[in-house]
Structure 1
């Protein structure tokens, strides 16, 4: 059961983030100034060379609060879906989520994942059952053509649901890299009252995001740093 957002915020404890590390990771670079979303104004420090520069003090605070929330959520047994389908974030998301023992989506957000969870859960259960049957040799009774079709079905389900096999109910939260690209996930989370942690660049609308991490969501270094900190927070809760 998803906790009320305000209830979770009360128990979050701050996690310290180093400003120098944020700078070295390139978290401070936003998009070109003409591409910005004015609602990101509170997080912008300056414009240099036509590019928005984030106020890293705000980034530090946002990441500290987001990791604290993630740590608290994990400590309470909640699952956080790590979501990042853009090319440069896919492998980072996969590796970090696996390391943290959290569900993830790195290929494509399936519409209805939250709003039609019971149906999505059936697809996840089907994937689990088919893989178990294949491992147990249950496919041997079928023709080679039938086995090939079943293998293809497993591959299809694995692509979209493979990172969610340990998710037994609606997640306690979403952690999203690029909230603009993952707009469908944001809207579903809002509708289902699932808290959102977001890596939010200067061209995004931070309004729907509960835990805003204002930082570059395109550069690999920035994505890696933020995602790793989220994974570390979750793992710290399990010690």
Structure 2
């Protein structure tokens, strides 16, 4: 089992077909978002306009993975590593879903529990590691304290969102995302007696070193 499982970007190239918009227009709002990427690009760019006037202070814009039959088994990993590119300093949200309900008769999607993690990216490039326990369950934007645990064997959707937090942020937004990957922090052997003492700092350094080596080789090929 690999310690690092690329999901989007990195060694698993970005694809425009993997993503689609899911903005507040489904609720009568005016926000809009786009995610531009290609197999030859090292960074996907999530950008658009966050409007709060139409819905009276509320608003959101997001991109999510396409399809309702895709499944990722992430149960062997400890969380997600997100390598971020240039950002405008706004607060963004990483979302997961383990359930997608059938569409309503009018064609709209039914609401289901989302697992969310808010983060603020600053500067030209940085990375975050999000443990599964850092994700909080929400339903239609509100915390859902009685939600079942996130089913890591059946993750069915990823999303990137920006929202107003009821008027705290609005206007144009832009976030670069280099890669999203599942990460296993421990080192394990087949036999319990052969387990090594785990040094999290050392293992994290190896993961980061490997990623930067890959990035350097890509840049050399493009130059």
TM-score range, shorter chain: under 0.3
Q: Which has the larger radius of gyration?
A: 1
Q: Which has the higher strand share?
A: 2
Q: What TM-score do the two structures reach when normalised by structure 2?
A: 0.25
Q: Which has the higher helix share?
A: 1
Q: What TM-score do the two structures reach when normalised by structure 1?
A: 0.24
